[in-house]
Amino acid sequence: MKKLFTVFALGAISISASFAQSTDQGRDLSKYADDKFGEDDKYHVETPYQTVKVGPVKKNARIKNVIVLIGDGMGLEQISTGWTLNGGHLNLDNFPVAGYSRTWASDRLVTDSSAGGTGISSGIKTKYGYIGVDDDGRPVESLLHYAQSLGKKTGVTVTCRINDSTPADFVCHSTDRHEEEAIAAQYVGCGVDFLSGGGLKFWTERSDGRNLVDEMKVLGYTFVDDLEGVRSFKGGKFLGLFAPLDMDPVLDRGPVLRETARKAIEVLDNKKGFFLMIEGSQIDDWAHRNKVGHMAEELFEFDKIIGDVLEFAQKDGHTLVIVTADHATGGLTLIDGSLEERKVSVHFSTKGHNGIIVPVFAYGPHAEDFVGVYENAELSRRIKALMK
């Protein structure tokens, strides 16, 4: 028996030694990977953009304004990919405080923008596909509605259709995100001071024959559909619809989101304050399509807007800025790249969403309240508690 045990032990040692040799004993298994990259998996940036630098503001100053920026589908690896492509610099680097938000819906682990956005906007978890309602379909108050009750001005600017999930989460109520005509109609009489996005088709080519743009004009809104209209707008209520459905990619559409975000801050700023939601909508769209270049360019525009917002917030001293995501998209993995050459190679594991935790960045008075790991609904409740 002792001899048999010795033979067995020697055999086990031999197998272990053989396995160790087969893995080169170094445990650096990355070199055994067979990474094959297609054109949509690689990107290179020739000229990086300049980022801003802002300093601290008074921690306990009164919060007059709240600006929430949502990078749709913007997980940590989207941010890391953009940071690499811009040579190791993003305006996001300015944030002194960061936390993490869990995004699950009440009936699914992996959320969509409807449930994810409702968590951020309203402080409640809801079902997949539900907009601004609870699990039973009852309307809930959003941060934007709460700001209105405080007498603040309000705004929403996006590059998707304005009646899509994330913008609608802050203004509308529905148990079906696909009821796009009905959701668009809810904007009439909503009282939001600044509305901008795509989706003109659902306002003027409706099955019920209504022309919602004309109805909004009767309510005192100035309607614009190009950048010149944005630039010439001086004040009052604003409705900008720049595409029949979603807007073109950023390199084709130009700086529509950046200019509408700047204009929104300019015209909403007042003594009582304002609430503004800005969404980088198409980070998500191009991650769904697994095209890293388009995704990166959308993230770059979003980050430039973050820079503009931070400069305003530093000068103002009474503005809380929150940057987060409703979920991550594409199962993106940053496999290779170079800071010096501003290039990346990535893999996408899915064309859908994934359930990873997403970042929360905070700047301004009481930014330190957003440290930690919490639910997206808790993020909303913390913002609401600080709005005065």
Structure confidence by residue, pLDDT tens digits, 120-166: 999 999 999 999 999 999 999 999 999 999 999 999 999 999 999 99
Per-residue burial over 316-332, b if 16 or more Cβ lie within 10 Å, else e, is bebbbbbbbbbbbbbbb
Q: Which of 16, 101, 113, 174 is catalytic?
A: 113
Instruction: With respect to residue 8, please indicate whether it lies within any of the assigned structural domains.
Output: no
pLDDT of 28 reads 57
Q: Residue 274's domain is classified under what CATH number?
A: 3.40.720.10
Confidence of residue 38 (pLDDT cuts 50, 70, 90): confident
Structure confidence by residue, pLDDT tens digits, 219-269: 999 999 999 999 999 999 999 999 999 999 999 999 999 999 999 999 999
Percent of the chain with pLDDT over 70: 91
Instruction: With respect to residue 56, please indicate whether it lies within any of the assigned structural domains.
Output: no
Instruction: With respect to residue 38, please indicate whether it lies within any of the assigned structural domains.
Output: no
The mean pLDDT value of the chain amounts to 93
Structure confidence by residue, pLDDT tens digits, 178-208: 999 999 999 999 999 999 999 999 999 999 9
> In terms of pLDDT, which residue wins out, 18 or 331?
331
Instruction: With respect to residue 102, please indicate whether it lies within any of the assigned structural domains.
Output: yes
Average pLDDT for 5-17:
42
pTM of the shown model:
0.92
Structure confidence by residue, pLDDT tens digits, 132-143: 999 999 999 999
pLDDT of 299 reads 98
Percent of the chain with pLDDT over 90: 89
Average pLDDT for 271-294:
97
Total domains present in the chain: 1
Instruction: With respect to residue 13, please indicate whether it lies within any of the assigned structural domains.
Output: no
Q: How many residues does the chain have?
A: 388
User: Active site includes 113?
Assistant: yes
pLDDT of 19 reads 38
pLDDT of 39 reads 83
Structure confidence by residue, pLDDT tens digits, 359-388: 999 999 999 999 999 999 999 999 999 998
Instruction: With respect to residue 374, please indicate whether it lies within any of the assigned structural domains.
Output: yes
Instruction: With respect to residue 323, please indicate whether it lies within any of the assigned structural domains.
Output: yes
Instruction: With respect to residue 72, please indicate whether it lies within any of the assigned structural domains.
Output: yes
pLDDT of 377 reads 98
pLDDT of 379 reads 98
Domain housing 343? 65-386
Structure confidence by residue, pLDDT tens digits, 283-325: 999 999 999 999 999 999 999 999 999 999 999 999 999 999 9
User: Which pair of structure tokens corresponds to residue 366?
Assistant: 């009481």
d(CA 236, CA 224): 13
Angle (CA) 285-158-379 rounded to 5° is 90
**Whether pLDDT at 7 is above 50:** no
d(CA 175, CA 2): 72
